[in-house]
């Protein structure tokens, strides 16, 4: 499974939406239910799935999904 | 108590929906059964000063309610349980429950508040020769009050041990109430679930816990024991980024492990208390408002308390209204030290027009005037889905919130007009940001702003000011994520006082939505001065407290 598909799987679990399809230009406002509680679930979900650890709240500083993918591709082998 | 034989259903494609809700009695009964007396669940007063505003349903009670909705499984035994506590459950809300069966040995239960996922529990079963029995259980608990462990008490390796067994009478009541017989879980397994609740709520971390995740694995030896269990639990990690505690625990029958648990819980931090010293640090005391009289509606906590302190620090006499938080109100008055007599406490419900009439008379009798009315009070603000089944709560919030503004405004605008006084009403940056989870709050604040615009037209002798602060650091935002980027209430209060003391107020109503602060260069200013633009610094230059 490539990085995009793995990330999409995490998002589907966290946001309880099997139909959710990620696009690089998507932001938090494009995804229903992305509140502060979901944000923590998402961070932990990504950390667990990719075996990484965010520093502080750096996820919040990323502007869109594309940037998150770029961040992850630099951290984990694709 | 033996489980009754019922029809088994093994169709993996089956899905079931149901509706469940919880009462205060359910919480009391579960507390007595589990020995989890965490005040977040059982004390309204305690819960009011948390981000949840009201008692939260025990997470494990939600799990038991879910278990009760599973099909009967006379030939299975529960092997493990995995739970995600996504959002807090509250009393009186009808939750939709969906059961899905991805395989013959697995059931996934999701609890929704309309479309918002609140809890997800995965039950894994294994075939068993004999039905899961509801065995006799034995009471035992060495803890009667929830430990108040802060982050410094929760270093990795911190260990707790004790004896555990639910209250037998209440245990049976819980089993009966939620229909737990015949679901594939033995009484000892149900007791182990209660133990997890007890361990997190009473021990690690204890009082400050907000349960987040649980993985509970059962061993066959669990059911062979006769007598109270022993337990041991240890802190594995405290993730400082989110104040998230990871603990592991073992529930033993004698010396034989019967269940193991992995638990994650947020450790709630102290309620952020408005501080006069932080106010004075950015706004030195003065007499610039000496002779003025203010009435702060909802003045004992959060922004209202900081406004009370900031006004009093500038010589203003403040009538501080509060509804129930007597202790907090007295603490705010005492914080003024030698100037405590500048604050008069006035308890009551400001939504009640009779109270408003009495407050008006009391204020005029004591001070003979009113210069500033600050409508700050609000019911607790919690996420609320905008859906037909939640409109009752929506309307209740709207009515209550509006009454806390309409009552005081209707009662005091005439008095304010006599002095050319100020009508100051709290709105929020949410009226322009429109966050998805607070439709009731956005609606209320938009309505309130409309009323102030109306009042500006028809009470032209009064200065009308709408305050639109950003997210503030208060009890309601006091979570790991909520604190991030939140403005200190002291900063918002000082911005308000500076604004009142500035010279030009030709617009009406004014909207104050930028909270840029500076240190006062002259600590002994007596008169109202208008600071020039060069004096102001962006709020980001002020440290935002995160703990």
Instruction: For residue A29, give how far its alpha carbon lies from the nearest alpha carbon of chain B (Å).
Output: 9
Read off the tokens for B1: 């108590």
Q: Write b or e for each residue in B89-98: b if 16 or more Cβ atoms lie within 10 A of its Cβ, otherwise e.
A: bbbebebbbb
Nearest CA in chain A to B484: A57
ipTM: 0.88
Measured between beta carbons, which residues in chain B are less than 8 angstroms from residue A35? 383, 435-437
Tokens standing for residue B305: 């308390």
**Comma-separated ranges of CATH 3.40.50.720 domains in chain B:** 276-524
pLDDT at A34 over 90: no
Higher pLDDT, B5 or B464: B464
Residue B522: predicted pLDDT = 46
Binary contact (A36, B482; C-beta < 8 A) = yes
Query: Kind and range of the H or E element at B28?
Result: helix B24-34
B343 CA: distance to closest CA in chain A (Å): 37
Distance CA B218, CA B253 (A): 12
Look at residue B104 and give its three-state secondary structure.
coil
Touching check for B547 and chain A: CB below 8 Å? no
Distance CA B484, CA B471 (A): 9
| The pLDDT of residue B65 is above 90 | yes
At B524 the pLDDT is 42
C-alpha closest to that of B308 among B272, B278, B344, B283: B344
pLDDT score of B135: 59
Summarize the confidence of residues B10-14 as an average pLDDT.
48
CA-nearest of B229, B168, B183 to B63 is: B183
Choice among B302-306, B459-463, B481-485 with the minimum mean pLDDT: B481-485
How many other CB atoms are found less than 10 A from the CB of residue A74? 8
B137: closest CA among B253, B259, B260? B253
Residue B9's pLDDT is what? 42
- pLDDT band at residue B303 using 50, 70 and 90 as cut-offs: very high
The 10s digit of each residue's pLDDT in B334-357 is: 999 999 999 999 999 999 999 999
Cis peptide bond upstream of B237, omega within 30: no
Q: B17-37: per-residue pLDDT in tens?
A: 899 999 999 999 999 999 999
Q: Which residue has the higher pLDDT, B518 or B241?
A: B241
Å between A39 CA and nearest CA of chain B = 8
pLDDT at B149: 94
CA dist B83 and A36 (Å) reads 19
Residue B132 has pLDDT above 90, yes or no: no
If you write DSSP's letter for every residue of A31-68 in order, what string do you get? STT-SHHHHHHHHHHHHHHHT----TTHHHH--SHHHH
Check B484 against A57: CB less than 8 A apart: yes
CB spacing of B481 vs A39 below 8 angstroms: yes
Inter-chain CB pairs, A–B, below 8 Å = 31
Q: What is the mean pLDDT of residues B200-216?
A: 96
Residues of chain B found within 8 Å of residue A36, distances taken between Cβ atoms: 479, 481-482
CA A10, distance to chain mean position in Å, is 7
Is the model more confident about B117 or about B542?
B117
Residue B460, number of CB atoms within 10 A of its CB: 11
CA gap B402, B399 in Å, rounded: 5
Rounded CA separation B293/B422 (Å): 10
CATH of B15-267, one of 3.40.50.12280, 3.10.20.70, 3.10.129.10, 3.40.50.300: 3.10.129.10
Instruction: Give the CA dihedral B379, B385, B387, B393, nearest 10 degrees.
Output: -20
Rounded to a whole number, what is the distance in Å from the CA of B21 to chain A's nearest CA?
Answer: 22
Q: Do A41 and B86 touch (CB under 8 A)?
A: yes
pLDDT of residue B485: 83
| Beta carbons of B478 and B51 less than 8 angstroms apart | yes
- Tens of pLDDT, residue by residue over B232-247, are 999 999 998 889 999 9
d(CA A32, CA A37): 13
DSSP state of B517: B
- Give CATH 3.10.129.10 domain extents, chain B: 15-267
Kindly state whether B2 is in contact with chain A, defined as any CB-CB distance less than 8 angstroms.
Answer: no
To the nearest whole Å, the CA of A37 is away from the closest chain B CA by: 7
Quick one: pLDDT at residue B224? Answer: 76
Spelled out in words, what is the top-level CATH class assigned to the domain B276-524?
alpha beta
The superfamily CATH assigns to domain A3-75 is ACP-like (1.10.1200.10)
User: Are the CB atoms for B279 and B494 separated by under 8 Å?
Assistant: yes
Contact B436 A40 (CB under 8 A): no
* The pLDDT value given to residue B539: 30
In which band, very low, low, confident or very high, does the pLDDT at B517 lie, cut at 50, 70 and 90? low
Phi and psi based region of residue A36 (left: phi greater than 0; alpha: psi -120 to 50; beta: remaining): alpha
Taking contacts as CB-CB distances below 8 angstroms, the residues of chain B near A33 are 115-117, 436
The residue written with tokens 């806390």 in the block is B404
d(CA B74, CA B131): 5
Chain A CB contacts of B484 below 8 Å: 57, 60
């Amino acid at each position: 499974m490539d990085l995009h598909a793995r990330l999409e799987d995490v998002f589907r679990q966290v946001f309880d939406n099997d139909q959710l399809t990620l696009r690089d230009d998507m932001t938090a406002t494009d995804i229903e239910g992305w509140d502060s509680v979901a944000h923590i679930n998402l961070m932990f979900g990504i950390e667990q799935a990719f075996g990484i650890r965010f520093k502080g709240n750096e996820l919040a500083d990323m502007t869109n999904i594309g940037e998150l993918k770029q961040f992850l591709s630099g951290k984990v082998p694709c | 108590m033996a489980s009754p034989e019922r029809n088994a259903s093994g169709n993996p494609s089956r899905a079931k929906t149901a509706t469940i809700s919880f009462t205060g009695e359910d919480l009391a009964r579960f507390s007595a059964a589990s020995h989890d007396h965490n005040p977040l669940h059982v004390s309204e007063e305690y819960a009011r000063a948390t981000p949840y505003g009201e008692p939260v349903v025990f997470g494990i009670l939600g799990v038991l309610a879910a278990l009760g909705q599973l099909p009967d499984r006379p030939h299975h035994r529960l092997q493990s349980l995995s739970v995600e506590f996504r959002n807090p459950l509250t009393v009186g809300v009808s939750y939709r429950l969906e059961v899905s069966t991805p395989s013959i040995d697995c059931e996934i239960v999701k609890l929704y508040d309309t479309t918002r996922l609140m809890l997800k529990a995965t039950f894994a079963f294994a075939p068993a020769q004999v039905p899961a029995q509801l065995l006799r259980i034995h009471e035992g608990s060495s803890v009667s009050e929830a430990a108040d462990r802060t982050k410094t008490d929760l270093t990795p390796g911190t260990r707790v041990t004790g004896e555990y067994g639910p209250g037998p009478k209440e245990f049976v009541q819980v089993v009966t109430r939620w229909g737990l017989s015949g679901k594939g879980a033995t009484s000892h397994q149900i007791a182990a679930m209660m133990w997890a609740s007890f361990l997190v709520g009473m021990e690690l971390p204890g009082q400050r816990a907000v349960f987040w995740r649980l993985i509970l694995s059962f061993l066959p030896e669990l059911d062979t024991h006769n007598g109270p269990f022993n337990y041991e639990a240890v802190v594995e990690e405290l993730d400082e980024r989110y104040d998230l505690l990871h603990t592991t625990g073992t529930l033993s029958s004698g010396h034989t492990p019967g269940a193991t648990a992995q638990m994650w819980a947020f450790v709630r931090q102290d309620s952020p208390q408005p501080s006069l010293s932080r106010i004075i640090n950015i706004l030195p005391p003065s007499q610039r408002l000496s002779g003025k009289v203010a009435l702060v509606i909802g003045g004992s906590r959060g922004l209202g308390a900081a406004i009370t302190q900031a006004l009093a620090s500038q010589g203003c006499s403040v009538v501080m209204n509060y509804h129930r938080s007597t202790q907090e109100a007295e603490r705010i008055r005492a914080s003024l030290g030698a100037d405590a007599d500048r604050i008069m406490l006035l308890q009551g419900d400001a939504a009640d027009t009779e109270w408003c009439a009495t407050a008006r008379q009391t204020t005029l009798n004591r001070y003979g005037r009113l210069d500033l009315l600050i409508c700050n009070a609000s019911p607790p603000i919690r996420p609320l889905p905008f859906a037909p089944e939640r409109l009752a709560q929506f309307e209740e919030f709207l009515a209550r919130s509006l009454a806390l503004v309409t009552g005081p405004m209707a009662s005091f605008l005439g008095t304010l007009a006599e002095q050319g006084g100020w009508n100051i009403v709290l709105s929020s940056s949410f009226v322009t940001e429109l966050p998805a989870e607070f439709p009731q709050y956005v609606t209320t604040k938009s309505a309130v702003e409309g009323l102030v615009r109306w009042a500006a037209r028809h009470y032209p002798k009064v200065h009308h000011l709408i305050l639109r602060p950003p997210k503030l650091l208060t009890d309601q935002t006091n979570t790991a994520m909520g604190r991030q980027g939140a403005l200190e209430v002291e900063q918002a209060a000082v911005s308000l006082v500076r604004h009142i003391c500035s010279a030009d107020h030709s617009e009406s109503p004014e909207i104050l939505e930028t909270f840029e602060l500076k240190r006062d260069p002259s600590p002994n200013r007596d008169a109202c001065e208008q600071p020039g633009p060069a004096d102001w610094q962006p709020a980001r230059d002020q440290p935002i407290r995160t703990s």
